[in-house]
Structure 1
Amino acid sequence: MTDAAFTADALLAGNRTTLASYSARHFGWRLEDGVGTIVLNRPERKNPLTFESYAELRDLFRQLAYATDVKAVVIHGAGENFCSGGDVHEIIGPLIGLPMPQLLMFTRMTGDLVKAMRHCPQPIVAAVDGVCAGAGAIVAMASDMRLGTSRSKLAFLFTRVGLAGCDMGACSILPRIIGQGRASELLFTGRAASGDEGYAWGFYNRLCAPDSLLADANELARSIAAGPTFAHGVTKTMLHQEWSMSVDEAIESEAQAQAICMATRDFERAYQAFAAKTRPTFQGD
């Protein structure tokens, strides 16, 4: 190894991390076969978020940008619900008495969770059952793929508590998923969309039986984790960045991105496997 290569490895080593032994304080976390699973685990309250869980989720997704052992992520709620949003007593009540600078600190922190989800390279699969409301609906929205059930209830509740629907990127991301008119209806009315509506509108990739939802989400995540993870990260980045590009800019950016992927060992492995009539084993480099 050359001195230059050794120096580069040494510099990068400080950013690399593994999350197999990560111990979450405010939600469940486990890692198996390259799939990290986040469990919002307050089922007695339909898994609401708190100041602490918001911040820890944000920090975990930021760490995922440097994790070498996580290839895909599944997020779901414990019990029969996904997430009921911000905890009324632990978040909504205290916010009433805060001055504007601290309110802005809070709203920026919650928005940072969405930014961290969109910028981590791992594809995120949300397994949505039961109540998926408020900030919970945002977490599902910010995921890359969503599996639901017929009993899923999707609601962006902000107007029902006297707030605007433009929370945590909802007015930017939701119309791109379900269309401007449907997003407007949900964000203005705060009403709950059924699982069948969410699927018909494109919010859910598919509907699953409640008892197979998590297994189906894990199967999808494992299939992604077995793929070319570096290239998956590039795909996710381009899906996000191209929202603000012209078609010409997007084509040029994709040309550069694809050329980078062609320089990876996974691309070579895929060719060698094709030539040998075998299935490639991707390693993410």
Structure 2
Amino acid sequence: MSDTPLLDPALQAGNRRPLAGYEARHFLWSLNDGVATITLNRPERKNPLTFDSYAELRDLFGQLRHAPDVHVVVLVGAGGNFCSGGDVHEIIGPLVRLKAPELLMFTRMTGDLVKAMRACPQPIVAAVDGVCAGAGAIMAMASDLRVGTARSKTAFLFNRVGLAGCDMGACAILPRIVGQGRASDLLYTGRSMAGEEAERWGFFNRLSTPEALLDDAQALARDLAAGPTFANGLTKTMLHQEWTMGIDQAIEAEAQAQALCMLTQDFNRAYEAFVARQKPVFEGN
């Protein structure tokens, strides 16, 4: 008999909702061996977002919090571009006719997408090629890891359309990735950041070729998916929560998180594999 207690069926029903059968409406979705791939799929327009795709992405990343069959997410655009931001005709045009309550409804929805991306426990790998602008740059920023290409152009171009650079958490998150001075440069000017500059500044974790980009991003995702996924989720949680903590608070939070990880079967598997001089096979529990 296994020493591992069975999960109460009622608890499981309320908190574990696999996404294997998910059918996306406004982008492409696939799930293989724990790696989910979201493909923004309007290549003829460089994959802009609409009200509908914003809402579906927000809701999907929310559902990922309860999806035990998804260990890592890859976010990519079709046709050689990542995402050109909000669709000029389907979002920007309607926005100029709305009143303040409806505008706030929209800006809160876009911010909720970023919050959902940061709150889901799965690491998100953005595969960035070509145009990565506006809300596209934000989604890349909100991902955990970014693989780019030399020909990519990332632009937080909000001030180019008469808006502030403080959009969807940019003033909070971007400085933590590239530093305050570099974030100020990008947010005040709205200029494009080429791929090699983005890697040099730390926005991209690595560069790939356009032809190998998706393969490289998915290979990175598979490596993460093969790791201790419960522990990876806690790493993501701590990276996010410790932004607002002092050092003493952070050390205590990490002590509690690490103690939880020491209770997992994956921790036991790692020890047993080390003793046997084998590579551990993690199962996420």
- Normalised by the length of structure 1, the TM-score is 0.97
Q: Distance in 2 between matches of 1:73 and 1:6?
A: 28
| Aligned pairs for 1:47-66 within 5 A | 47-66=47-66
Structure 2 vs 1, CA of residues 7 and 65 (structure 1 numbering), >3 Å: closer, same or farther?
A: closer
Residue equivalent to 1:26: 26
Residue equivalent to 2:71: 71
Q: CA deviation at 1:131?
A: 0.3
| Aligned pairs for 1:1-285 within 5 A | 8-285=8-285
| SS in structure 2 of the partner of residue 210 of structure 1 | coil
Q: CA deviation at 1:168?
A: 0.2
Amino acid across the alignment from 1:81? N
Q: CA deviation at 1:11?
A: 2.4
Q: Distance in 2 between matches of 1:196 and 1:224?
A: 24
Q: Distance in 1 between matches of 2:101 and 2:11?
A: 37
Amino acid across the alignment from 1:38? I
Amino acid across the alignment from 2:183? A
Identity of counterpart residues, as a percentage?
Answer: 73
Work out the number of aligned pairs and report it: 282
| SS in structure 2 of the partner of residue 92 of structure 1 | helix
- Normalised by the length of structure 2, the TM-score is 0.97
| SS in structure 2 of the partner of residue 20 of structure 1 | coil
* CA deviation string 1:152-209 (max 9, x = no partner): 1000111011100000000000000001111011111111011111011000001111
Q: Distance in 1 between matches of 2:14 and 2:119?
A: 19
Task: List gaps (5 residues or longer) in structure 1.
Answer: none
Q: Distance in 2 between matches of 1:243 and 1:143?
A: 16
Q: Distance in 1 between matches of 2:11 and 2:281?
A: 28
Q: CA deviation at 1:9?
A: 3.7
Q: CA RMSD in A?
A: 1.2
Amino acid across the alignment from 1:227? G
Q: Distance in 1 between matches of 2:64 and 2:53?
A: 16
Q: CA deviation at 1:279?
A: 1.1
